[in-house]
Structure 1
Amino acid sequence: MHPKNIAIQDFSYELPEDRIAKYPMAQRDESRLLINKEDRLTEDIYFHLDQHLPSDALLVFNNTRVVEARLHFKKYTGSIIELFCLEPADTYADITTAMLQKQRVLWKCLVGGAKKWKEESLVLPITVDGTTITLKATKQEKFPDSFLILFEWTDAALSFAEILHHAGVIPLPPYLNRTAEEKDKETYQTIYAKHDGSVAAPTAGLHFTDRLFKKLAAKNIHTGFVTLHVGAGTFKPVKSNTLEQHEMHTEFIEVAELFIQQLIQHLAGTIIPVGTTSLRTIESLYWLGVKVILQPAIMPADLQLYQWDAYELPHNNINATTALQALLQWMQAHNMPQLITKTQIIIAPGYSLKIASAIITNFHQPQSTLLLLIAAFNSNWKKMYAYALAKGFRFLSYGDGCLIWKHKI
């Protein structure tokens, strides 16, 4: 069955409010881990993850960094206007380029209290190292569900990423139903976060600590890093009856040539993405390779993935090695040590996994595209989630997680 015909109501379950973890565990790697292998469920904690993985496995992490994307401006009337920075304007090549802009930048934003904001510019004073600077926001254009905002600031030495760090608030997921606290700046960030650009954390990675990485390395378990900047669309609910009417969110990915070579070296073994974003990235690499095989003359500006590409591109005789090697050769031909592009692919039941052997991930919301992705891995997700609820596992971003092995065909 084509995923377009999937009924989202089949991917629902009852999630009581008190099962949503409002705060993380005091020790990250002591979060509980549910293991689903060959439909046998067992339990452990993340600190013992090395005991459940084969040596020479490759764990793939998303090293994006969550930015303080919520900005609160006060009007002269006293009312608050919140600007939630979603993604840069299309004029920038990628998120990193936009984040490094100085003095001015264009950004797509959600506007809380938009009806109260007429045409005047909003001004926010910011104190940086004892000096007060001014951040100004001006509406440029209205989109169906967002606005294009021009941000300008008075300190020419500061990048937009630095402005957000000093002026913004961490954008906690809406289902936590609480305001962000100072400690969220640390706890809602992986310890290996590197590249500014996400408005949501790759939460499966929140459980990893330095001492856990040492244990993994001691067992000769390898680590690789990709960058997928998580957008607010990751929380976008599926409101249509079937997937055909749902528009999947698009996200930026950045992958180094050296990582693709590392991926190729491990294809015959075990490759485990940590989180749905890491999975989406490595599976996207396969389909990008298919595209360059089908369209050898495609230019870098045109190479990206759309929602149904994984189900509609002809690929019968193209294995993962062939696709990734083709992508590498295409990058080298275009002198691209780093691949930067966008992916919109949706992974749902009916999808055939090309690279991943298992996934480490949190428990996801009912009727979400993230839950559909889990169902593509293992059709018995309902049994697993029912077990987790019955056994007191903590759900969603700050909750516990699971190691799910791919169903053998």
Structure 2
Amino acid sequence: MQKSDFYYELPDALIAQAPLAERSAARMLIVDGRQGTWQDARICDLPDLLQPGDLLVLNDTRVLPARLQARKATGGAVELLLDRLVDAREGWFLAKSSKALRPGMRLHLPGAVATVEEKDGMEVRLSLSADAQWLPILEAEGSMPLPPYIRRAPEASDRERYQTIYAAHPGAVAAPTAGLHFDAQLLDALAARGVERTFVTLHVGAGTFLPVRSDDITEHPMHAETMEVSATTVAAVAAAKARGKRVIAVGTTACRALETAAQDGTLRPYTGETRLFIYPGKTFQVIDGLLTNFHLPESTLLMLVCAFAGMECMLAAYRHAVAEGYRFFSYGDAMLISPQVGQR
């Protein structure tokens, strides 16, 4: 299966550069993978589309202001983008500088010095001295890591809007964007409908924006992300299944967390890393539905939704979305997807 199989034409004008005034005002394309059909709707229709007892699984990671400016001892500028924290004092970063960084080099940050401990491809592992920690530095000095297709500088409002309202655990460098559509009013309406919810945590890494470079998609090395599926969530999923209701992942990150924790066919509590790459031919173990935004051409996330609902159906639905002027990517519109025959 080739990367080019997942290409579609997207006018630049459809790439959302800012959020809508209201989170739940977005459009939503409902895609039926079994029938190969779709229909236009809105996010605010979600309570009417779900059934009492259905379970939404949301990713409660919190986006860090993960982009930092540093300087080498020589004065040269270095731009750092956090990928993932190892602990309070160590983290992996994508680094951009005029010359490559090497182990042993020191980088000067506001109020701290970081040492390059290790280099792995495009990433470096940086450690701070014993009297410094990454989280306070990022919160004080970092800027929100808006995706590269948002062609403007981060604004103060992005600290709130590029974040779900239920974000709880800091560690992500990109938002779980399907969750950006939920405001308190929508969550209240879903609860009144009898739709239940539970949470997983997957800290979205900078690697989510890296392109698939190999023509054969099975040769693509998936980036590592840290995650947790708790015993509480496992129990909530089991209860929904027992009452014959759907488990709907809010976002590809929630989907990957659940499917990682069920790799042996049974969902179990899991804490650790995931490098799970889901593409057509892979079988889903847990989810019965997926709420997600529109994804970049030839991306691993587009491959995931094609695996869930079928390539022909999904790519045709994307062409419809382009023709109808849907807004794409992080600050864009959404899709509610049911699986193709054979998935759930």
Same fold (TM over 0.5): yes
1:347 positional shift? 1.1
1:254 positional shift? 0.8
Flag the 1:342–1:76 CA change in 2: closer, same or farther, 3 A.
Answer: closer
Contact (CA 8 Å) 1:107, 1:151: kept in 2 or not?
no
1:261 positional shift? 0.8
Residue matched to 1:312? none
Residue matched to 1:278? 254
2:137 equivalent to 1:142: no
Flag the 1:351–1:82 CA change in 2: closer, same or farther, 3 A.
Answer: same
Residue matched to 1:17? 12
**Whole-Å separation in 1 of the counterparts to 2:196 and 2:247:** 10
How is 1:229-268 mapped onto 2 (pairs within 5 angstroms)? 229-267=203-241, 268=244
Specify the SS of the correspondent of 2:262.
helix
Specify the SS of the correspondent of 2:277.
coil
Specify the SS of the correspondent of 2:245.
coil
Specify the SS of the correspondent of 1:264.
helix
Flag the 1:75–1:400 CA change in 2: closer, same or farther, 3 A.
Answer: same
Residue matched to 1:390? 323
Contact (CA 8 Å) 1:86, 1:232: kept in 2 or not?
yes
**Whole-Å separation in 2 of the counterparts to 1:258 and 1:120:** 44
Contact (CA 8 Å) 1:136, 1:153: kept in 2 or not?
no
Superposed CA RMSD in Å reads 2.0
Contact (CA 8 Å) 1:65, 1:198: kept in 2 or not?
yes
1:10 positional shift? 0.7
Which structure has greater helix proportion? 1
**Whole-Å separation in 2 of the counterparts to 1:49 and 1:386:** 23
Flag the 1:152–1:83 CA change in 2: closer, same or farther, 3 A.
Answer: farther
**Whole-Å separation in 2 of the counterparts to 1:41 and 1:116:** 48
Residue matched to 2:277? 346
Q: Which runs of 5+ in 1 are unaligned?
A: 1-5, 90-97, 126-133, 291-319, 329-338
Which residue identity lines up with residue 209 of structure 1 in the other structure?
D
Q: In the alignment, which of 10, 26, 32 is matched to residue 31 of structure 1?
A: 26
Q: In the alignment, which of 164, 174, 180 is matched to residue 206 of structure 1?
A: 180
Identity %: 39
TM-score normalised per structure 1:
0.78
Residue matched to 1:355? 286
1:163 positional shift? 2.0
Contact (CA 8 Å) 1:81, 1:117: kept in 2 or not?
no
Q: Which runs of 5+ in 2 are unaligned?
A: none
Contact (CA 8 Å) 2:73, 2:108: kept in 1 or not?
no
How is 1:4-403 mapped onto 2 (pairs within 5 angstroms)? 6-37=1-32, 38-74=35-71, 79-89=76-86, 98=87, 101=88, 105-115=89-99, 121-125=106-110, 134-152=111-129, 159-267=133-241, 268-287=244-263, 290=264, 323-324=266-267, 327=268, 339-379=270-310, 380-403=313-336
Structure of larger gyration radius: 1
Q: Deviations over 1:174-221 (max 9, x none)?
A: 121222222111111000001111111100000000000000000100
Flag the 1:75–1:240 CA change in 2: closer, same or farther, 3 A.
Answer: closer
Specify the SS of the correspondent of 1:385.
helix
Contact (CA 8 Å) 2:163, 2:175: kept in 1 or not?
yes
**Whole-Å separation in 1 of the counterparts to 2:114 and 2:74:** 17
Equivalent pairs, count: 335
TM-score normalised per structure 2:
0.92
**Whole-Å separation in 2 of the counterparts to 1:152 and 1:192:** 33
